[in-house]
Homo-oligomer: A and B are copies of this chain.
Amino acid sequence: MRLGLDIGGTKTAAAILHDDGSLATLHTAPSGHGPGEVVAVAAMLAQAALREVSANRLAKDGQLEAMPAYAGACMPGLVDPASGQVRHAVNLGVSSMDLRAGLGAALGMEVNIENDVKAAALGADQLMRARRRTPESPVAGAEHRDARYGASGEGTSEHRTLAYLNIGTGLAAAVVRDGAVLRGRDGIIGEIGHFPVAGGALCKCGQFGCLETIASGSALDRLWDVPGGRGHDPFAAGLAGDSVAAHAAQVLCHGIALSLQLLVLTTGAEQIVLGGGLCALGDSLKIGIRSELARDAAASDFVASLGLADRFELLSSEVPVAALGAALLPSFDRL
């Protein structure tokens, strides 16, 4: 079995996966604040999850699975898998901490760490692989060759690129190529939320017009100042006659459409999985994005040729994709 911890801005989740990749258990609680609490909450959840699966170990197909020998953990901020350090996890009250050492000591096992969006991308890649598996070989790792790639103009290459776009309070992406997360120096690959485009606003990063200022929860808050705060649906409000909400929803979808185009032009991603809090908007969001993509494709044969509408899909906000990805993190030695 494998253990994955997702330390999010508001809640922390501990997931244990069976050897076949299916979820054995999931424990969640509000995240701690500050390095000490962050580790304490994560360790408490991990131990509860470990106790539960240990007690029920024979439940899966009558096989005695080995208990997790190490853990993976992810967190927002600048995460360095090599040093174990996390910096700038502002929402968690962490300016700097050694997450790997702290969690490793609390759990008594080796811990591998990664940035939360990068871990979620690994999780999304795993979910998409599982979907492509043939019924005859349901075991992880026994995936069949995806015949599409030989016929796609990629020649005999079997490289496969998936992008994950996280639309939460902020906007960030991550890229998985042939099953491995691409990082770049300081994990910069995928930080497209801070690329400036037309129609944006002043960003807290100092630039003007960052994609994050149109395609994120914070953008929505700025564009549609609704009483009662986050969690309202701008699509529903727009349909009910709130023109400010309708405009905010359209700007949001336009920004996401631009993000999809950006990711395809630079990474060639065949599949882009959207996750993060705003995916709770569900089909309204999906239809809104498709509508923006259709408008762009009608104006430009070039955009039409990219087939963006066929490349993206929304992840249900119920799927603990970051915890799943954290459970699959490679040990640093194998990076």
A residues near B, CB below 8 A?
80-82, 152-157, 159, 161, 175, 182-192, 194-200, 205-207, 209, 258, 261-270, 296, 299-303, 305-306, 332-333, 335
Contact = CB atoms under 8 A, between A and B. Distances in A.
A190 B262 CA distance: 10
B153 A207 contact: no
Contacts of A185: 152-154, 268, 270
Among the interface residues A81, A265, A268, A300, which one has the most CB atoms of the partner chain B within 10 A? Answer: A265
Contact of A196 (B156, B258, B264): B258
A206 to B, nearest CB: 3
A215 B188 CA distance: 24
Given A182-B268, A198-B198, A206-B299, 5 more contacts: A153-B183, A154-B183, A155-B332, A186-B305, A195-B265
Contacts of A157: 183, 335
A335 B156 contact: yes
B333 A188 contact: no
B198 A265 contact: no
Copies in the complex: 2
Nearest 5 Cβ contacts at the A-B interface: A184-B268, A206-B300, A266-B266, A205-B302, A155-B335
A303 B184 contact: no
Contacts of A261: 195
A157 B180 CA distance: 11
Contacts of A200: 198
Contacts of A156: 82, 332-333, 335
Nearest to A206: B300
30 contacts: A80-B153, A81-B155, A153-B185, A154-B183, A156-B332, A156-B333, A156-B335, A157-B183, A161-B184, A183-B268, A184-B269, A188-B265, A188-B268, A189-B267, A191-B265, A194-B300, A194-B303, A195-B258, A195-B262, A196-B258, A197-B197, A197-B198, A198-B198, A206-B302, A206-B303, A207-B300, A262-B262, A263-B266, A266-B266, A266-B267
Contacts of A186: 153, 305
B266 A190 contact: yes
Among the interface residues A188, A197, A305, which one has the most CB atoms of the partner chain B within 10 A? Answer: A188
